[in-house]
Amino acid sequence: MTQNRYLTDAIPSPCYVCDEALLERNLKLMQRVQQESGADIILALKGFSMWSTFPLVREYLQGCTASSVWEAKLAAFEFGREVHAYAPGYKAKEIDELLPLVNHISFNSLGQWQRYREQVAAAGVSAGLRVNPEHQEAETELYDPSAPGSRLGIRAADLADADLTSIEGLHVHNLCECDSYALERTLQAVESKFGQLLKQMKWLNLGGGHLMTREGYDVEHLIAQLKRLRETYDLQVILEPGSAVAWQTGPLIAEVVDIVENDGPIAILDISATAHMPDVLEMPYRPTITDAKEPGVLAHTYKLGGNSCLAGDVIGLYSFAEPLQPGSRIIFEDMMHYTMVKTTFFNGVEHPSIGILRRDGRFDLVRSFTYEDFRNRLS
């Protein structure tokens, strides 16, 4: 990224900016994976649901996966291709709403599937079960579906005597921003525990966490794994990445509001870690800032803090070549995935606008937020 590309008067602060050219770059790589492996890639809305980009995304991906009725509606009404659904549990009224919208639905337990199996069959929707390979690859426990005691997925031992008549697929998800070698190890566990079942299935959904658009990812190895799996079991293989679609496709633009002193200078920004990029606190991770480095490397070091009353609303220590002052712009890179989908109106802090930097260099402000948006969240 270059600084000047995003520092333009056309872009307000705060603002999430999706760079259309970078998004299409990722989509073209995914198109290649689909063409060479025979697998299908769908968009996981839980990671990226910026529906103003859907006209571009649907040129390359086969559909969306939804974790709720509302996400399924977004997929059906705004994306308009295949809709796959999985949730830890469904209420009866949710099934009534989902079945007219979806092509595939995966259940988290035998009990849920048995409760709704006749209804699903009557709707002509392909039914699957989420299974737990009991194989861990995610580095952070918060994001590890295969951690001991997980509520997500059915273990092989619990399927031993089950009647799976009319189950057409299995759903596996245990990765989080992982490489293709983590997928290979996962597939070894899946085939060891569920290999006989795979021979009976029409499809296998490998979930998300396949960070194929990250620099250094072995795409050839991924393609080989998917192709082998598809040919060995004569299956439709489905991947549903969220982060990989929007990886490195645009920043969050922020602005310094004030500088305060307490054992060093603290820059108060017009954004909030807890409200606008919560993975900074949850994961946790350190965002990359354009033209900033580790503390002490450049001449001026600041602690960057959010504009909420949460004491821990702190992004971290960064150094800059020039001193910051009110009005200075900060570019937080790679802020398209798992940010907008998690934002809140905590404290009534101004919610960042949403825009698209078009391939021809034009900036389109597609959404700004108002007091009424804040008010209407509650009653």
Lookup: tokens for 94:
């949710």
Cα–Cα distance, 338 to 256 (Å, whole number): 23
3-state SS of 21-81 is HHHHHHHHHHHHHHHHHCCEECEECCCCCCHHHHHHHCCCCCEEEECCHHHHHHHHHHHCC
Strands 265-269 and 300-305, sheet pairing: parallel
- The reply to whether 218 sits in an annotated binding site is no
> 342: closest CA among 14, 46, 23, 15?
46
| Block residue for tokens 């001449």 | 299
Kindly state the DSSP code that residue 105 receives in the 8-state scheme.
Answer: E
Strands 329-332 and 252-261, sheet pairing: antiparallel
C-alpha distance from residue 231 to each of 202, 220, 227, 258, 263 (Å): 12, 16, 6, 60, 62
> 210: closest CA among 235, 237, 174?
174
Binding residues for substrate: 279
Binding residues: 279
